Amino acid sequence: MTDLADSPAVRRLSDWNRSRLESLADDHETPLYVMDLDRVKENYARFSAAFPDAHVMYAAKAHTGKAVLEAVLEVGGTIECAAWGELQRAIDAGADPNELQYTAVNPPDRDLDYAAELGADNPGLTVTIGATDTLERLEERGYDGRIAIRINPGIGTGHHEKVATGADAKFGIPYERVPEVADRVREAFDGDLVGIHAHAGSGVLTDDLEDHCRAIERVGEMARRVGDEDLEFVDVGGGYGVPYREDEEPLDLERTAEMVRDAVGDLEAQLKLEPGRYIVADAGLILTEVNTIKEAPDTTVVGVDASLSTLIRPAMFGSYHPMLNVSAPDRETLEATVGGPVCTSADVFAHDRPIARPERGDVLAIGNAGSYGYELANQFHSQPRPAEIALEDGEARVARRRETLADVTRLEQ
């Protein structure tokens, strides 16, 4: 792992070794995910250094691949999970179940069954509830372990309305009901209310910090109302972002840490944070090969073998991802519309994007794909999901093999 003094706050596409990327595309075909595990470790270490007195957990939903989870655990991280499958995958990667935190959001029965059974054998497991129904269902299952309450601060932040969870009624106990729910937990679970939790939104950069911290202020206020001296932690969630556009500045972590501490205020309980995107986004990219060049009246269409089944974020959120012609970055640029083979107009990665003039057979890189990239990959159009290569200590290995059509159809009866 690079010394943090030599590790940039954000890794741009131009910082990747082009010849290495071309070699990976040749050896493993495209589309191809590439995850730099050394960068994952650097990002976790940098974030933790900014919050030396806090407990920093990695939010697994950003990338639940075993190689990534192992990298986080290797540098002393713990893991926050949002579903039973993430709990199991964290354990498979080597996590101690007693150090896991499970944030239940409208959990299906199988999720709560699994969590209750896991908690019976591992009393350190923490279950975070966002509805009184979840509390009742845990009681029905005989769960008598550690409980945290997720509150809805009524303030959402982030890069898109679909991730502004802090103002979405789906997430958390309504703010003014939290004290009565806290009393109920303490009565039903013999005082085992260990924390207060909230998550305002995702993709927060420096300009979003004021809104983000207004939500955190409410979390701190509620913690003191319910008795923070009796709590183990106050969890203000994650959502800390990375700049996707080339002209955006990286998150100022020192300022962020100062503002978060000021916002949450004096607490007896320990501060806890759950970065996900910040840890993995710029550690990953996608390599894709150009197969079609088509001159249209208003644009040049560049067809590639990646699609919205490879990376759905542009179609789902309108997200911008940087792009680089790895094969020939010094060619003259043209404005191109880059899209994949899926039969929908949503299958476009960029409209009128300046890029070094692509030719058939060129390899393009799509940056900042480490967060919610492979996690949202799918098999639309019966497209097998891509392979994933892990880079670590100068070596490359297959972390996830490329699916075959037999993988796509093997569950059919």
Q: What is the pLDDT of residues 159-217, one digit of tens each?
A: 434 434 445 567 789 999 999 999 999 988 776 899 999 987 767 888 778 888 888 99
Rg (CA), the chain: 22
Say if residue 37 is exposed, middle or buried (CB neighbours under 10 Å; 0-12, 13-18, 19+).
buried
Helices 66-74 & 84-92 angle (0-180, nearest 10):
60
pTM for this one?
Answer: 0.94
Sketch the domain layout of the chain as residue ranges.
96-275, 282-409
Categorise residue 190: left if φ over 0, alpha if ψ from -120 to 50, beta otherwise: left
Q: Is residue 374 part of an annotated ligand binding site?
A: no
Question: CB-side exposure of 167: number of CA atoms within 13 Å?
Answer: 14
Q: What are phi and psi of 260, to 5 degrees?
A: -65, -45
Q: Please report, for residues 286, 322, 360, 385, 391, the alpha-carbon distance to residue 326 in angstroms, rounded to integers and kept in the order given.
A: 11, 12, 13, 22, 18
Per-residue pLDDT tens digits for 401-413: 999 999 999 999 9
CA 212 to chain centroid, in Å, comes to 17
Measure the CA–CA gap between 396 and 389, rounded to whole angstroms: 7
How wide is the angle at C-alpha 284 spanned by C-alphas 280 and 285, nearest 5°?
A: 150
The tokens describing 35, both together, are 């995850």
Query: What would the 3-class secondary structure string for the chain be?
Result: CCCHHHCCCCCCHHHCCHHHHHHHHHHHCCCEEEEEHHHHHHHHHHHHHHCCCCEEEEEHHHCCCHHHHHHHHHCCCEEEECCHHHHHHHHHCCCCHHHCEEECCCCCHHHHHHHHHHHHHCCCCEEEECCHHHHHHHHHCCCCCEEEEEEECCCCEECCHHHCHHHCCCCCEEHHHHHHHHHHHHHHCCCCEEEEECCCEECECHHHHHHHHHHHHHHHHHHHHHCHHHCCEEECCCCECCCCCCCCCCCCHHHHHHHHHHHHCCCCCEEEECCCHHHHHHHEEEEEEEEEEEECCCCEEEEECCCCCCCCHHHHHCCCCCEEECCCCCCCEEEEEEECCCCCCCCEEEEEEEEECCCCCCEEEECCCCCCCHHHCCCHHHCCCCEEEEEECCEEEEEECCCCHHHHHCCCC
Q: Is there a binding annotation on residue 74?
A: no
The pLDDT tens digits for 222-274 are 999 999 999 999 999 998 999 999 999 999 999 999 999 999 999 999 999 99
277 is in an annotated binding site: yes
Q: Does the domain formed by 96-275 have CATH 3.20.20.10?
A: yes
Q: Does residue 31 have a cis bond before it (omega within 30 degrees)?
A: yes
> Is the dihedral angle over the CA atoms 183, 55, 160, 284 positive or is it negative?
negative
Whether 239 has a binding-site annotation, put simply, is yes
Average pLDDT over residues 31-46: 98
Give the whole-number percent of the chain exceeding pLDDT 90.
86
pLDDT for residue 95: 98
Interval 307-318 mean pLDDT:
96
Q: Is 145 annotated as a binding residue?
A: no
pLDDT number for residue 6:
74
314 marked among binding-site residues: no
pLDDT in tens, 69-126: 999 999 999 999 999 999 999 999 999 999 999 998 899 999 999 999 999 999 999 9
Q: Token pair 């990298």 is at which residue?
A: 71
Residue 301 identity? V
Which residues, other chains included, contact 14 with Cβ-Cβ below 8 Å and sequence gap of 6+? 324
- What does the pLDDT read at residue 166? 42
- Please report which confidence band the pLDDT of residue 2 belongs to, taking 50, 70 and 90 as the band edges: low
Q: State how beta strands 270-273 and 55-59 pair.
A: parallel
Q: Give pLDDT, residue 8.
A: 87
Is the model's pLDDT at 322 over the cut of 50?
yes
Closest C-alpha to 269, from 55, 52, 77: 55
Q: 72-81 long-range contacts, Cβ below 8 Å, gap at least 24?
A: 72/40, 72/41, 72/44, 72/279, 74/41, 75/1, 75/41, 75/44, 75/45, 77/44, 77/48, 80/274
* Distance, CA of 54 to CA of 59 (rounded, Å): 15
Q: Tokens 């070094």 map to which residue?
A: 356
The residues that bridge with 402 in the sheet, in sequence order, are: none
195 marked among binding-site residues: no
Which of the residues are catalytic? Answer: 343
CATH class of 282-409: mainly beta
Q: What is the pLDDT at residue 331?
A: 96
- By CB neighbour count within 10 A (0-12 exposed, 13-18 middle, 19+ buried), where does 69 fall? buried
